[in-house]
A = this chain, B = another copy of it.
Amino acid sequence: MQGVLEVPLKNLEFNRSITRRGVDMAEIACLPISSGWYGTLVEENRRLIKVQCYSKKGTVNFYMKPIEGLTVLVDMDRKEVISISDNGLNIPMAKGIDTDYRYSVQKLNGELRLFNPISLEQPEGPSFKIDGNLVKWANWEFHLKPDPRAGIIISQAKVRDPETSELRNVIYKGFTSELFVPYMDPTDGWYFKTYMDAGEYGFGLQAMPLDPLNDCPRNAHYMDGVFASADGTPYVQSNMICVFESYAGDIAWRHSECPITDLKVTEVRPKVTLVVRMAAAVANYDYIVDWEFQTDGLIRAKVGLSGILMVKGTTYDNMNQVPNQEYLYGTLLSENIIGVIHDHYITYYLDMDIDGSDNSFVKVNIKKQETSEGESPRKSYLKAVRNVAKTEKDAQIKLSLYDPSEFHVINPSKKTRLGNPAGYKLVPGATAASLLDHEDPPQKRAAFTNNQIWVTPYNKSEQWAGGLLVYQSQGDDTLEVWSNRDRPIENKDIVLWYTIGFHHIPCQEDYPIMPTVSSSFDLKPVNFFERNPILRVPPNFKEDLPVCKARDST
C-alpha cells in the first residue's frame, strides 16, 4: 500500500490538478484507501486502491486540509493510475489554523495547565509477572501475543478458584477479529470509505509505540511486537502493548450497616485491575484497545476512539449558508470542513472454554409474566426463562431493551455445589447496530455486524469475521455466511462473537483532535464460583501505602 502512494505523483493529470488548486506538490500527504467492492467491471481481476491527498502546509494535522474531490484509482499490482476523478476545484482549501495538536506548538501559543500531577504508585512494585508471553497477576494467568492483524491476542486465560486453589479455564482465545467503519456519504469521493481495518490494514501493524508516561501510567510494563514487513524482513514494533495495574479509587465491594440494626459495620474493598492495552492508529483514527482483568473474575474488553476525524472539504463556512443540513452528510466543524457521519464496529472473537472446551450458549430471557386472578395484589412480574441454543440460528442475537436476556456460556457438565451450571455471561455495554441495507455492498462484506451476538462451533478457518481475505472481498466468507449454516452448537467447542458499535455524528469538540469516547462489554462469572471470590481480600491499610514527595522537594 505504501508503495502505491508514489504512483499518482508521476501522473501529469494529477500534478496539474494539484497545482491548479494552488497546492505545492512538495507539501502533499496522500493516503492509500481501500476501495471496497461494488461489483463493477473495473474491479474484476484487479487489486485496486484509491489515493486521496491532503496539504501538510503549516500543520502536522494534514487531515484537516483535504484536497477535496480528487480521487485516484490505482492498480496495485501494475502500479498504474486507472482513472482520476476530479470534481472539487471550487472547494477552497481549509486554512488549518490552530489544527496542530503537538505540545511543543501549544507551549508557544499558551498552554492550559488544569491540574497538579497525579500518579499511580506502587511502592512494593507491580504485582504481575511476565515470563515471555505468560502473564500472571493476582488470581489470573493468561498468554498475551502481539499479532499483526488482530493486535492483541489473549489466550488460555485462567482464573484461580479460591475454594480449591485450582486454575480454571475461562477463555481459550480472544481478540478483535474485524472492524467496520462505513462513512455515510454516498457521493463520488466518499461512498467507498467503508474500512475493515484489521483485514485491510492490519490492526496490530498500525499499533505504534506507546508513550510511556501518557498512553499508560508510569507503573506499566511494555511488550514489543515482532512482525514481518512486506518483503519478509522481520522488524520490531517496540512498546506496542502495555500491561499495568490500575486503581481509579473505585470500590470492589462494600457494605455499611445503618443505625437501625445497631451493628457498627463498614467494610469496603478497593478495586484494582490489570489492564492490557494497545493503541492502533489506523491513519487518522486511534483505537485504544483494553483488556481489563478484575479479581472478581470479570474481564472487560474496552475500545476507546480518539485521534483525528476524516473530514470533507466544503464551500460553506457557516451553517447559515447551508440550505438543508441533511445533505451535508455531517457537521460543519470549521470553515470549509465537514466531519462526515460514520459508524465504528469492532467485532470480537471469543473462544470461551468454561472449565473445558465443550460449552453451551444459554439465553436467559427476562419475560413479563402476568399473574392470574386472585394470585397476587401484583398484576405482573419478571421471570427468567432459560433457552439453550441448539443451533447457530438460535444464537443470532439482536439486542433490545424490551426483550432483554442474559447471555450465558456454560459448561453443562460442570455444576456448582448447588447444582447451577458453571458459566460466564456476556454483558453488553452501550452499543449501536448497523442500519445499512443488508444488500448494500459494504454491509454484505461486513455482514458480521448484522447481529450483535453470534455463536459458532469452533472451526479453524473461521476466525476473521469478514473472511480470511478481506481486501475487495465480496461477502461470501463472513461470520453471517458461516452462521447461516445453522450447525449444532450445544455442548460443543463454541466461539462467541460480540460487536461493539458506535454511531458518530461529529461535533466541533472533535476538531482538530478528538477527546476519547469509549464503549465496552464484560465477561462476568455467573455461578462459576461457589460464592464471591474476593470475600477474603484485605482492605487498604494506611501503613501499606507509599510515602511520596514532589520531585523537586527531595
Query: Are A503 and B215 interface neighbours, CB within 8 A?
Result: no
Task: Point out the residues of chain B lying under 8 angstroms from A288, CB to CB.
Answer: 251, 254
Query: Are B215 and A254 interface neighbours, CB within 8 A?
Result: yes
Within 8 A of B (CB), among A105-149: 106-107, 109-127, 137-139
When chains A and B are docked, how far (Å) is the Cα of A124 from the Cα of B113? 14
Dominant SS at the A interface? loop
Which of chain B's residues has its CB closest to A38's CB?
B377
Query: Are B399 and A401 interface neighbours, CB within 8 A?
Result: yes
When chains A and B are docked, how far (Å) is the Cα of A163 from the Cα of B431? 33
Task: Point out the residues of chain B lying under 8 angstroms from A443, CB to CB.
Answer: 380
Task: Point out the residues of chain B lying under 8 angstroms from A367, CB to CB.
Answer: 435
| Nearest CB in chain B: distance from A541 CB, A | 7
| Nearest CB in chain B: distance from A354 CB, A | 14
Task: Point out the residues of chain B lying under 8 angstroms from A209, CB to CB.
Answer: 256, 266
When chains A and B are docked, how far (Å) is the Cα of A138 from the Cα of B281? 29
Query: Are A260 and B5 interface neighbours, CB within 8 A?
Result: yes
Which of chain B's residues has its CB closest to A112's CB?
B536
Query: Are B507 and A418 interface neighbours, CB within 8 A?
Result: no
Chain A interface size range: 35 or more
Contact A111:B551 (CB < 8 A) given known A119-B545, A266-B209, A532-B512: no
| Seed contacts A118-B219, A320-B419, A333-B418; 7 additional CB < 8 Å A-B pairs | A120-B249, A208-B266, A217-B247, A254-B306, A334-B531, A368-B435, A420-B508
Query: Are A255 and B317 interface neighbours, CB within 8 A?
Result: no
| Nearest CB in chain B: distance from A386 CB, A | 7
Binds B, one of A18-26, A183-191, A461-469, A476-484: A183-191
Query: Are B254 and A286 interface neighbours, CB within 8 A?
Result: yes
Within 8 A of B (CB), among A151-174: 162
Q: Mark A515-540, 1 if CB is under 8 A from B, else 0.
A: 11000000001111111111111111
When chains A and B are docked, how far (Å) is the Cα of A138 from the Cα of B114? 4
Q: List 10 A-B contacts (CB under 8 A).
A: A107-B538, A186-B375, A191-B378, A213-B541, A220-B249, A252-B515, A260-B283, A380-B437, A406-B505, A546-B551
